[in-house]
Structure 1
C-alpha cells in the first residue's frame, strides 16, 4: 500500500473528482481512497480510466457504508461499487464504521466471501477502536489489513498505532491536515518555515515518520503537488518531538454513532 494516497471525501462534483484523480495519478500517486457514502465512486473510476497509468499500478480502496452491513447487503453493494468504479476488484475494502447494521458475525463473513471471490484483495476496517479490531480478527478468516482513522498532530492515535504495531495491521490516516487546522499551529508553521515547506507537508511528513499512511484530500493541481512533495521532507528527531509535544486535542470527526470513547 503506497504510503501517501489521495482522499476523495466531499469531492462530489463528478468532473472535478475525475480530474483530480487523474491529475494525482499522473503526478505520481498510486493510492486512491473513496467510499460508497461519498457518492463519487463512478467519478473516481473515470479518473483512473483517463489517467495514463495502468490499473494494476493503482491501489484502490473503497468502504461499505453502515446501512449496507447486513450480509446480503455487503455483497450486493460491494458488487455495485465495483460496477461504479469500473473495475473487477478493489485492492482494499473497508467496513466504514462499527455502527448501523454492523454485526461482526454477520458482516465480516461477507467480506471474507468477497475476498474469496477475488472482488477485493484485502479486508480493512475504519473508525475501529482496539476492541473492535480484535473482535474482527477473531471473526474474519482474512487478516485485518488496515484500520482507517482520523490521524494528525492533534489526534495522534497513539494507542491505536501501538495496537496496530502489536497486531500486524496498518493505520491509514484520514483528515491528516486536521481539516486545515494544521495551517494555524505555530509549531508546525515554524518547522515549515525552517524547511521552506508548507504546513501540510510537515503534517504529512510527521505521519510518515509515525508509520501512518496518509490520504489527504486535494482537488487542485497545486495542492495535489504540494502534498506529493511531502515525500522528500525529512524531519529531525527534535522536530518530531516538538510536534509530539503540541498540547492540543482536536478530533474533527465525531458523529453521534461513533464509538463511545470518542465522546
Structure 2
C-alpha cells in the first residue's frame, strides 16, 4: 500500500455494532462529513447495509477505501472464497480495498487461512490483504507465509492500554497497525486529562484521544451514530499534540484496560 493511500485513509468509519437503518444513516452521515474509508466485517452482520448506504452516497467506487474481514468460521478451504464472494455481493462491489482475517484461527496454525487470504487477492477479490488481532510472533510468521504485503494489523488500541510491545514489533516487521475500540468504548471519557489537554487546542476529549493514536503512527477506526460526533471524530488533522501532552497521555496506558479478552472472544490469542 503506498504512502498516499495510507494517508488518505488514516481515518476510517467503523460500522460495528450497527445494523439496519441505524447503520445506513450513520454511514451516510460519515460520507457527508468527509469519510471515504469504511470498515465492516462478516461478523458484524451489516455488510448488506454498508453496501446499500455506500451506493446511496453516489460516491465513485475509486474514491472509497472499503475494508471487510473474514469470519474465523469461514477459514476452511471450502468456505473461505465463497464467503468473500458473498461479502462482495452484499457490499455491491467487485472487490474490497483491504481484506482482513478477523482473528487468528483457533488452534494456532495461521498458515492455511493466510494462504486462502493470498488466494483471494490472486483472484482480484481484494486489492490488499491484512490481519487483525495478531501478536508480534504471528506478524513475523505471516510475512514469511504470504507473498503480498500485509498492509495492516487491526488491533485494540487506545490510551488506556499499553501496546508498546505490539507497536514496536509491528514497526520492526513493517506492518502498520490500525485501531479498533479507539475510545475504549467510552471508558476514556472517565479520564479528565483528555478534556483538560483539549482546552489548549480548542478540541474535545475524543479528538485528543484520536489524535494521540494517529501520532503513535496508528490509523483509526471510529464509530458514532450522532452526526456531530461523526464530524468531530473526522476533524482531527488540524492540530498536533505536543511531546509533553503525548507523554502525559502515555502514562494512562499503564492502566492496561483491555476490552477484548479471551473470556469475551474465543478466538483471542495470548496477547503480547
The ranges of structure 1 where at least 4 consecutive aligned residues each deviate by more than 4 angstroms after the TM superposition are none
Structure 1 residue aligned with 2:270: 260
Identify the residue that residue 227 of structure 1 maps to in structure 2.
Answer: 233
Q: Deviations over 1:148-196 (max 9, x none)?
A: 0000001141112111211111101001101001111122121123323
| Pick aligned residue for 2:119 from 110, 113, 126 | 113
Aligned to 2:17, which of 10, 13, 25?
10
Length-normalised TM-score, structure 2: 0.92
| 1:137 correspondence with 2:147 | no
Look up the match of 2:195.
189
- Distance (Å, rounded) in 1 between the aligned partners of 2:37 and 2:162: 22
Return the alpha-carbon distance in structure 2 between the equivalents of residues 170 and 105 of structure 1. 20
Match status 1:75 vs 2:81 = yes
Instruction: For 1:102 and 1:242, locate their aligned partners in 2 and report how far apart those are by CA, in whole Å.
Output: 37
Tell me what 1:201 maps to. 207
Q: Give me the TM-score of the superposition, normalised by structure 1.
A: 0.95
Residues 103-112 or 235-244, more deviating: 103-112
CA distance in 1, matches of 2:271, 2:251: 23
Counterparts of 1:164 and 1:259 in 2: how far apart (Å)?
Answer: 16
| 1:93 lines up with 2:99 in the alignment | yes
Which of 34, 52, 56 aligns to 2:58? It is 52
Residue-by-residue CA offset, 1:30-59 (whole Å, 9 max, x unaligned): 110000010000111111111132111111
Please list every run of 5 or more consecutive structure 1 residues that lacks an aligned counterpart in the other structure.
none
* Alignment partner of 2:255 out of 242, 248, 252: 248
- Which sits farther off after the overlay, 17-26 or 212-221? 17-26
